[in-house]
Chains A and B, each alone.
Chain A
Amino acid sequence: MTVAPRTTDRFDTLLEWASELSEGSWSQWRETCRELVVDPTLAMQDLAALGHVEVDWSADRFACPPPTAAFLHRSSGSVLLTGARPRGLLDRLAELESELLDALDFFVHPPTAQLRGPRTVLIEAELDDVDELCAAAGLEYVFDPAGRIAERLPEATLARVAHRESWPPRDDVPRRLFDPRTFRFAPAAGDRDGLWWYEGYRRDEAWIRLRECWWQVPTREFAPYLAHPDAVFLRYAPERRQLIVPQPVPLPPLQARCATLASGRLPRRAPSTRGVTDMVYENVAPQLAERIATSLGTPLRRPA
């Protein structure tokens, strides 16, 4: 049997493999995650939030965007290394530090590990030098992706993000009903209005029953927000610039990407007074938090 690598190395290896492959199928992803002892779905969600991969769930395919330097606000003028991270890229950056010592002003911070993702690589640079640095290193450059993507997020509605079905979901698949007060799913009888979670092989499916109509929500993270628009899920601490999201109602992919790319770090898991684990996104500007909440049609409150 192979010896599983350390947790922090697994995600770097996964990213390196995905970058060398460039694009592949879900089954390839799952096979590699099994090899690396990593949960495939969570890994896919997390790497997508970090901007390392894109996923087409309907075609069961993933692809890596090009290696990218993304400017982050309130990061000491740093760019985050995101997108593909093929073999040798970090070595190449280290070489460039020596080669361009006199021409460009930049510094590659030592990569920082994180529990459920690849190491964070920040390059502090004179911003006027970033274009030239990117050209030398083969990187794309993007300014403030978190804020700019958030500005363009369409507001989620049932009509926009769900499919209305004239028949109820398959009855032979186990299901549970979501309780927005406890954030839990539990078996329930009958066909009540609300968010139903139908068990799936890869992951559960979200179905909203509303006034005797059934709506299937392909990107299921939208479902709790759409099914319970008045429930308070999101909280924001402006003094710490933290967006706090209960783990059972994670942000949809692009909203999660905005929140994640504010710092380049996956959300921290923290216990909550609400009885569930919270995901704490760092370095989220008030406007960004507000924009994310608005895109989901959900209220944003200060933490208790």
Chain B
Amino acid sequence: MGSSAAILSGPSGRGPRRSLTPTLNDVARQPRQTIGSLTYEHWSAALLDVLLPVLPPERTGQVVLLACDDGVVRDAAHALGFDGDDPAAEFGRLVEAKFRIARDGSPDTIRRPTTLFFREREPDAIAPFFGACCAFVLAASRMTTDADAHAVNYYDRLWDVLGRRPSTLPPYDFGYLPHLFERLAEWLAGEVAGARGHLYIPEGGRPHVGYPINQCLFRERDKDHLAAFFADRVGRRRGELDLLRLLQVSSDRHDLTHRARRAIATPELADLARAALTHAFETWDGTRPDPRGGRSWPATLHLSINRGFRLTISAPEAPAGLALGGGRVLSNPAFDRVRLDNDEFAELTTRGLRFGPAPAGIYLPAAGDTLVFEVREDSGLVWVTAPGADHVFVLTSEAGLQRRLAAYTARLPSFGELPRGWNLYERVPTGQLPTDVADIRIKRPPVALVGGLRIGQRRYLTGHAPRIEVGDVDEPLTVSFNGTRVAEVAAGQDLQLELTPGEHAVDAGGLVRWTVHMLDTNPARPKWGQLAYPLTDQGARGGATASCEDACVHGALLSDAYEGEIPLMLRGARAAVLIDAGGHSTTLRAPDLPTWLQHIGLDPDGVRWEAELGPDTVWAITAQQAIAIRPLALARLDEGARAAVETLSQRGEPCVRSLRRRDREAAQAAFDEMATSPPPKAEA
């Protein structure tokens, strides 16, 4: 938040002096402010910085509105360190104390200080009427009706803000208001040189009070509709959505007041409207308007079937201690469940269900004659309007659907507890739901980048780009890549992106802009092998883990090294003579060919087989070759060994090799020695 720049130069060049108006820095040095220690000027300075902060140079002179509401006053109070319960009341009291607007039923008392302010031309001073203007707009923000003609509605809100009512009866003389707001615009444009923007004064409406009313983008009634808009379209995670653009293409905008609709459709006000929407979203408490009045926290409907049919509701977002009526209190909203009886279930299906007195309670919207439940890991079976699971439970009273899902009829321990005419179906594949029920699956966010092979934030493998999904919007969205318009995508449609390697700027109808990277490989790939499977009870219980200190497995890899010998592979031979270090021979027959290799296309006739070697085996000799396990020329050979060596050596160029490549030359020499210098026969 920028400073209010209230160090003033004295009139007529008499040198600098301290303004009577304190700066925000002044008040910031006082950590906690109590009621009575803050002046009208303090509030004016704080409101100026909250409402109209000094703009960055590139935005100097942009159009602004004086959109003061209770949220802005709370922010100003926070900046001032105000610790009272009702900052708006305190602010209004100070405005009234300074200008006696309510007492007189007129703002005329502001005229004189305004005139003096402009006459004295203190260039950096905060206009003395600024706080009063804020109070006028604050009253407008609290208006509950749309019609501009309801000036009485405005006056009632103003007297509330100022904390007293006039002693005189209407009509009231507010003819000075237009002049006041024009003077405000003049001050912002001239004295502040547009550093805080140029005040936009919309035309139309009531001649006098229309001026503050026109400054107010969203009224309390709009806030209710915005809460519904946030709940239905945005949810708790706003992501990168442009809220203004979303509102512009959503049918929800039709519920707003005429003034709000005009504001979101006016290009000059786009930044203001966007900022106001963002502020409303960030201060949204998660509730939504209740059709029966007030605001309520959404509830969750749970289905239990193990020991009979039972429906309960919970409201984990509701505040602890919320009274639900009938002596029921949500003392621990995260865990408390309220059981529904058959009458309450009937009410849920037809009108929706609400517990708790106005204006705050919990509610479930009307469910109709078919409810779909899916299992959630943390809360069991819950009613959903857009199932994401492959299998769901269906509770329905619709006869056609009951016939269609008959094969999935739930076998409950007791059927007597089901509401009359209703049946429950279990583990129904979502694809089996009839279209009208399954249609709820198409409920999408307004626009989303989905699919593709994502390897990082907006990073995808080439060949697998994402697609744009468009949800429920009123008009087709124009999609552009790198500034080039490529397609229009209507509600419910998808657009598969075809992107070459590199960086791409993707704009989806102004609702959201993404920078998408297409990559052949992952340049930021972490090291492989981050998880290991402990060969212990821990592994048996939890699988792999990032912190394994015991013997473990990474895929096929074991943490301990293999210490044994590599096997000898033989191709084509039906048998081999194995000779140990003592010159004793044994004949090893080839095993049956492993038939499984046919499954992977290997010809069993051409495969090699493993000769199982003893610990002392030195040579393996087949009809075609001699293989040195260890390249030793044995001094003694038994009859079988001698025969094998001699048979092979009588071939023109006997093939000699070794188990280890490094032993090849030594193997040849050793075999030659055995073949040419026959050692004495070993004892049998």
Contact = CB atoms under 8 A, between A and B. Distances in A.
Contact of B525 (A21, A144, A283): A21
By CB atoms of chain A within 10 A, which of B389, B412, B540 has the most? B540
Interface in B583-615: 591, 594-597, 599-602, 606-610
By CB atoms of chain A within 10 A, which of B537, B555, B564 has the most? B555
By CB atoms of chain B within 10 A, which of A13, A122, A128, A140 has the most? A128
Nearest to B465: A2
A68 B610 CA distance: 22
A153 interface: yes
Contacts of B496: 1-2
A32 B393 CA distance: 26
Interface string B548-568: 000101111110001010110
A174 B305 contact: yes
A253 B543 contact: yes
Contact of A173 (B381, B389, B602, B661): B381
A167 B568 CA distance: 57
Given A22-B522, A128-B659, A148 B558 contact: yes
Interface string A56-77: 1111011111111010011111
A56 B544 contact: yes
Given A70-B556, A265-B599, A219 B540 contact: yes
A145 B558 contact: yes
B441 to A, nearest CB: 13
Interface string B610-628: 1000000000000000000
Contact of B555 (A16, A65, A218): A65
A143 B563 CA distance: 10
Nearest to A189: B413
A129 B657 CA distance: 14
Given A23-B526, A56-B543, A170 B531 contact: no
Contact of B528 (A35, A63, A174, A265): A63
B453 interface: yes
Contact of B527 (A22, A200, A254): A22
Contacts of A163: 541
Interface stretch (B18-26, B240-248, B370-378): B370-378
Interface in A73-99: 73-77, 80, 82-84, 86-88
A209 to B, nearest CB: 13
Interface stretch (A154-162, A228-236, A270-278, A286-294): A154-162
B28 interface: no
Interface string A80-124: 101110111000000000000000000001101000000010101
Contacts of B500: none
Nearest to B606: A76
B539 A109 contact: no
Interface string B100-141: 000000000000000000000000000000000000000000
A20 B525 contact: yes
A127 interface: yes
Interface in A256-304: 257, 261, 263, 265, 268, 282-283
Contacts of A120: 600
Contacts of A13: 453, 464
Nearest to A240: B595
B484 interface: no
Given A65-B556, A126-B661, A254-B539, A20 B594 contact: no
Contacts of A160: 537, 540-541
Interface residues of A, number: 97
A68 B597 contact: no
B557 A63 contact: no
B453 A174 contact: no
Interface in A1-45: 1-2, 13, 16-17, 19-23, 28, 31-32, 35
A54 interface: yes
A188 B374 CA distance: 21
Given A13-B464, A200-B375, A283-B594, A23 B540 contact: no
A227 interface: no
Contact of B544 (A55, A127, A162, A222): A55
B525 to A, nearest CB: 5
B602 A62 contact: no
Contacts of B312: 172
B569 interface: yes
A129 B664 CA distance: 13
Contacts of A31: 454
Contacts of B556: 51, 65, 68, 70, 80, 82-83, 142, 145, 257, 261
A164 interface: no
Closest 4 CB pairs of A and B: A65-B555, A51-B555, A172-B304, A76-B607
Interface of A: 1-2, 13, 16-17, 19-23, 28, 31-32, 35, 51-59, 61-68, 70, 73-77, 80, 82-84, 86-88, 109-110, 112, 120, 122, 124, 126-129, 140, 142-145, 148-149, 152-154, 156, 160-163, 170-175, 186-187, 189, 199-202, 218-219, 222, 240-241, 252-254, 257, 261, 263, 265, 268, 282-283
